Structure 1
């Protein structure tokens, strides 16, 4: 979906100071559109706030911003997210406190909103406790994403992080096994046991799992196939491996 359609369907805040105050007030912001050639102390402060609060931004020329938004935006428009992001550490602690075995899903730059929505639907249906996405490179969480997930995004917790490799390190230190699913995997998904605390990592449609994340994995698995097509899309692959995990854990 292009920015023009997203603006028309998304709540937003405009203006330099209102946007900065919204960030400081911890409003859940999906993305901030910034005029490309803005300079000065205010834009420096805005970019610092965006970094500190893990909010993605996109630079646009003034003409494009004016086309998207007719009011006095001062070169800054914040698109509000329809969901509240949650710290993955808090979710993990809660799962452990409840005596359950964690199942986290890390999506490395899954950018297609259709795939992203379908994955979230499968995750919610098949027992995933939490989804982790990167600040940059992921599909935007907007009305379209919620629609594509059939509303599942409203029923599963999500966090947004700058460094997924660092997240993997912290999850490993908290007792989770990290397993990537890719056509490059050496093991069959049905040869692996999934009873331990677990984070499944799925890569982008184009590039797969980033090499910095691969280094943190305990295992890499693949889905066996017998047809002539050499791979499944990321949404189908995620549904298959989550289904196997649910089966092994007694979900059905």
Structure 2
């Protein structure tokens, strides 16, 4: 496996796209123009690329050199296919367990979640192409290598994965404080896909409307919520507890 690679310069990013590199994120300087940039726009117009338009100061912090207004992160991992991973999980003796991340955008939280998910036997982690944390060196380090042992899947929207899970007989459960139901009341012994939300906003309302069940952790302190990676660990270990009984 290669380390996370940062490339910069419009031509270099175009060539990476043409060579089918797994590009995790592209940073573009706000207001950028020119013929070569137009060529890059043509290459990325399919919408499958995670593009952020940022001030030039951001690009200057990312790289030292003539970035020409464009910097890209090449992922150290290849992303898996949703249908293939669901089919594979359904063929196993144990009930499938998937993790859906609704725009978790902190790379260290992402890495910690991957590490816990691998320890808990999660079949695959599903993220959105846009809005979530990129796979960076910090993600790899925080995951303690687990990122290379568990399939990662990118979808256009978490809703796509929810519909596919439900159509495959997998119950989708949202981890959210917007419910009175504690996670201990949910039956996790059946095929399950757990949804975890953004660090600040939680799970989006449009996603909450689609799930089969909602559950929360009991809280006694004055702080209203846990770090998302910690909450994810609590939920996943409740799944393990039920399945080991």
* TM-score tier (shorter): 0.7 to 0.9
Alignment pair present for 1:147 and 2:141:
yes
1:42/1:215 CA distance change after superposition, 3 Å? farther
Which of 2, 12, 18 aligns to 1:18? It is 12
- Deviations, residues 192-223 of structure 1 (Å, cap 9, x unaligned): 11122211001111111001111110011011
Which of 58, 65, 88 aligns to 1:94? It is 88
Residue aligned with 1:43, SS: helix
Unaligned runs of 5+ in 1: 1-8
Distance 2:43 2:169 in 1: 32
Alignment pair present for 1:84 and 2:68:
no
Structure 1 segment 130-169 matched on structure 2, within 5 A:
130-169=124-163
Distance 2:161 2:197 in 1: 15
Distance 2:165 2:44 in 1: 24
1:102/1:50 CA distance change after superposition, 3 Å? farther
1:213/1:73 CA distance change after superposition, 3 Å? same
1:240/1:69 CA distance change after superposition, 3 Å? closer
Matched-pair contact (CA < 8 Å) for 2:50–2:131: no
1:237/1:70 CA distance change after superposition, 3 Å? closer
Residue aligned with 2:184, SS: helix
Deviation at 1:242, TM superposition (A): 0.5
Partner of 2:123: 129
What number of residue pairs does the alignment pair up?
243
Output the TM-score relative to the length of structure 2: 0.88
Distance 2:131 2:225 in 1: 22
Unaligned runs of 5+ in 2: none
Partner of 1:221: 215
Matched-pair contact (CA < 8 Å) for 1:62–1:75: yes
Structure 1 segment 174-185 matched on structure 2, within 5 A:
174-185=168-179
Partner of 2:206: 212
Matched-pair contact (CA < 8 Å) for 2:107–2:136: no
1:229/1:75 CA distance change after superposition, 3 Å? closer
Deviation at 1:178, TM superposition (A): 0.6
